[in-house]
Structure 1
Amino acid sequence: MAGSPRVLLLAERFPPDIGGLARSGARTAGALARLGARVEVLAWTRTAAPGALSTLDDAGEVTPLARGVTLHRLGLFGSSDLSMQHTLDVLGYLHSRRRYDLVWGHYLSPPGFLAVVFAASVGIASTVSARGNDVDQHMFPPGDFARLLWTLQRADVLTAASADLGRKMSMLLGKDGRVEVIPNAVDTEMFSPGPAEVSLRARLGIAPDEAVLGFSGELRHKKGLPFLLAALSEVRRTRPACLLVIGEVRPRDAEHLVAFRAEHPEDGARILVSGALETPESIAAHLRLCDVYLQPSLWEGMPNALLEAMSCGLPVIASDAGGIPEAVDHQRNGFIVSKALLNHLGQACLDVLSLSSEHRAAIGAAARRRILERFQSEAEAEVLRRVLTRAVPRVG
């Protein structure tokens, strides 16, 4: 690449927000910076006054994933239309001072749409990144199919978190969209096999004889919340068990948890929610407590949390949503339950827990090998370099 492009990444969520979307945005920004790009991020937040813009010179202060990246935070208004219009004004202000070469929308809508609109209005390049259920969500009502298609047609470079998402984008375009698949990168030194911390287990209130069913991230309906609760009840009818949620429950889905605890108080008492964890080390320590990791997603891109669990050498049970089958080979390095049959998740847990410790360890070792083979930072950097070259080939 001839020079060092100025890149603005527009993100709906960014650390300290929790969840895979926030972390993947930070990881992408940091990886672009390590490739020599001058990277800034504009991220929305509800913790600031509406319309308030603040700047942090080094995003490494909030996440080590994005060291050397400038972070701008913009307070959201109560309505999305006001927020989006104001965001365009802020983009214009930032561009007048920074002169970006590329605007990167991290998630198709609204960041991707706004990135393409703004880039076209000022005559610079744009790229958008499909990350999760953003394609599915906007294909069907009440999603905005016209806006989705316009974004895909007008972006200079399309990227996706999985080959599955890339195929869907090309299908909508009616042609090969030359979608660059950017593999999620896992810190395999941080997320590695190791003994469970006895003191952490005791602090969380996990009984010595309990099997630990694990989930990591922000628990909500699309991540299979009802199926996780039903699986916990089914497993507990046979053996002591708890569900460890490594993260938080999305507020608007919390009522489902309240209803479950009211209807099944004994099972509900064995749902342990860690709350937001500050560091990847803490997340990894909680993952190592799990006997089996569950990812019963209904829609998905390529879940970071699943990859991190596999990197820790855990046996995983996941749905076949999105790009998950690109990481999990059934009965080889994990187990797949069809997303149409997730009512069988509890029995799948019992089947895996009944395997010998040697068999479970072999499955976990194969899972870690898959991460080492396909989901390393080198593979991510190679694709990002190609994206930059395609989007801004003459920067110098």
Structure 2
Amino acid sequence: MASGPRVLLLAERFPPDIGGLARSGARTAGSLVRLGARVDVVAWTRTAQPGALETVQDAGDVSPFAKGVTLHRLGLFGSADLSMQHTLDVLGHLHSRRKYDLVWGHYLYPPGFLAVVFAQSAGLKSILSARGNDVDQLMFPPGDFARLLWTIQRADVLTAASADLGRKMAMLLGRDPGVEVIPNAVDTALFSPGPADAALRERLGIQPGEAVLGFSGELRHKKGLPFLLSALTEVRRVRPACLLVIGEVRARDAEHLVAYRAEHPEDAARIIISGALESPELIAEHLRLCDVYLQPSLWEGMPNALLEAMACARPVIASDAGGIPEAVESGVNGFIVEKALLNHLGQACLDVLGLPEAKRAALGAAARARIEAGFQADAEAAVLSRVLTRAMPRSSA
């Protein structure tokens, strides 16, 4: 509705960037539009010239989740301080033309910090959204604890992707600020059970009889990259298997793969990397190929990729990082391996792959049911509506 608040959402990543953070930003922005808000997103990019501002009038062109959102992509400078100072100038320019009511920071730093700084300077309300390991990154060296505390103290409303993140922010503040937990929403029509696509399996080079260990997103150290590699080696000692990375490996973590290839060349040859996929439908098709989906994260908020795999009724094995235990009940709809014991991931994979087909199907069905019960758009929309009302009590949204 036209009378809804005008919201400026700052995001570090936004489609066509890959990964759960980008998808959750698009989903949040699109959901706010459906609640009647008028939403502009400012997101950084390295594909534009430094300082250049590019505008997409309807971000539905880059993500089906963000229909009706106006997207402004801002080229990064080589240094963070220059980029942040220039971003504040750009936000001031956009506000002079668009007249925002509310600033939303999607991830604590840098977008959350800049959102609160700009909101305070412009006399606007601010909402802060903790999404992943952003609290942990800033709490401990070399993170900036003072900036973290300043940011969460001055935001008008705090939100988080999991109850675990909400508890951490309350602990830092020394009080209960009423953190709103916004559950990640999965499109269960797109991410749904179904048979594996034999043609896709062949195109990817998955061999007959190979068990497929799956991971989705941008693979890096915090997502458990070393444990995935060691699990692949351990499983392949017992049975044919491959590791399917549905996405990409972060460039600065590629050295792990180089070392692994030198030590385990035959196992490394069975790592299949899809590259960035253009649509959620393609991601779902790849997830359906997985015999077991792995999320051995060291730090997390609430990983979208894990929820999407569960929606596709895949048996999952995950760590107990962050909010993961809020979705995965070990032995019921998946299995949990403690972060301190992730060296046992390979054996856990063998245990799940060795289960009777009926038991694995039951695990997948229970995983799907958990997503349908707690991680759909209706649950997300209800909390977002409450958040808007808290930030702007007189808002018609």
TM-score by length of 2: 0.99
The CA deviation string for residues 229-259 of structure 1, in whole angstroms up to 9 with x for no partner, is 0000000000000000000000000111111
Q: Tell me, what secondary structure is at the counterpart of 2:36?
A: coil
Give the corresponding residue for 1:98.
98
The CA deviation string for residues 188-246 of structure 1, in whole angstroms up to 9 with x for no partner, is 01000000000000000001110000000000000000000000000000000000000
User: What is the distance in 2 between the residues matched to 1:386 and 1:59?
Assistant: 24
Q: Tell me, what secondary structure is at the counterpart of 1:184?
A: coil
Q: How far does residue 2 in structure 1 lie from its aligned partner after superposition?
A: 11
Say if 1:2 and 1:393, in contact at 8 Å, map to a contact too.
Answer: no
After superposition, where does 1:312-351 map in structure 2 within 5 Å?
A: 312-351=312-351
User: What is the distance in 1 between the residues matched to 2:395 and 2:57?
Assistant: 24
Give the corresponding residue for 2:146.
146
User: What is the distance in 1 between the residues matched to 2:73 and 2:3?
Assistant: 27
After superposition, where does 1:37-186 map in structure 2 within 5 Å?
A: 37-186=37-186
Q: Tell me, what secondary structure is at the counterpart of 2:214?
A: strand
Give the corresponding residue for 1:292.
292
Q: Structure 1 counterpart of 2:90, which letter?
A: V
Q: How far does residue 79 in structure 1 lie from its aligned partner after superposition?
A: 0.2
User: What is the distance in 1 between the residues matched to 2:218 and 2:190?
Assistant: 20
Say if 1:116 and 1:151, in contact at 8 Å, map to a contact too.
Answer: yes
User: What is the distance in 2 between the residues matched to 1:230 and 1:190?
Assistant: 32
Q: Tell me, what secondary structure is at the counterpart of 1:91?
A: helix
User: What is the distance in 2 between the residues matched to 1:242 and 1:42?
Assistant: 39
Give the corresponding residue for 1:378.
378
For the pair 1:356 / 2:356, whether they are aligned, the reply is: yes
Q: Structure 2 counterpart of 1:217, which letter?
A: G
Q: How far does residue 177 in structure 1 lie from its aligned partner after superposition?
A: 1.4
After superposition, where does 1:215-254 map in structure 2 within 5 Å?
A: 215-254=215-254
User: What is the distance in 2 between the residues matched to 1:178 and 1:213?
Assistant: 39
Q: Structure 1 counterpart of 2:341, which letter?
A: L
Give the corresponding residue for 2:209.
209
The CA deviation string for residues 259-286 of structure 1, in whole angstroms up to 9 with x for no partner, is 1011110000000000000010000000
Say if 2:2 and 2:36, in contact at 8 Å, map to a contact too.
Answer: no
Unaligned runs of 5+ in 1: none
Say if 1:317 and 1:336, in contact at 8 Å, map to a contact too.
Answer: yes
User: What is the distance in 1 between the residues matched to 2:181 and 2:126?
Assistant: 16
Give the corresponding residue for 2:388.
388
User: What is the distance in 1 between the residues matched to 2:3 and 2:63?
Assistant: 27
Say if 1:5 and 1:102, in contact at 8 Å, map to a contact too.
Answer: yes
Say if 1:2 and 1:394, in contact at 8 Å, map to a contact too.
Answer: no
User: What is the distance in 1 between the residues matched to 2:394 and 2:122?
Assistant: 17
Q: How far does residue 3 in structure 1 lie from its aligned partner after superposition?
A: 3.9
User: What is the distance in 2 between the residues matched to 1:267 and 1:303?
Assistant: 27
User: What is the distance in 2 between the residues matched to 1:345 and 1:3?
Assistant: 52
Q: Tell me, what secondary structure is at the counterpart of 2:191?
A: coil
Aligned residues: 396
User: What is the distance in 1 between the residues matched to 2:317 and 2:282?
Assistant: 22
Q: How far does residue 395 in structure 1 lie from its aligned partner after superposition?
A: 3.5
User: Identity of aligned pairs, percent?
Assistant: 81
Unaligned runs of 5+ in 2: none
Q: How far does residue 44 in structure 1 lie from its aligned partner after superposition?
A: 0.3
TM-score by length of 1: 0.99
Q: How far does residue 164 in structure 1 lie from its aligned partner after superposition?
A: 0.3
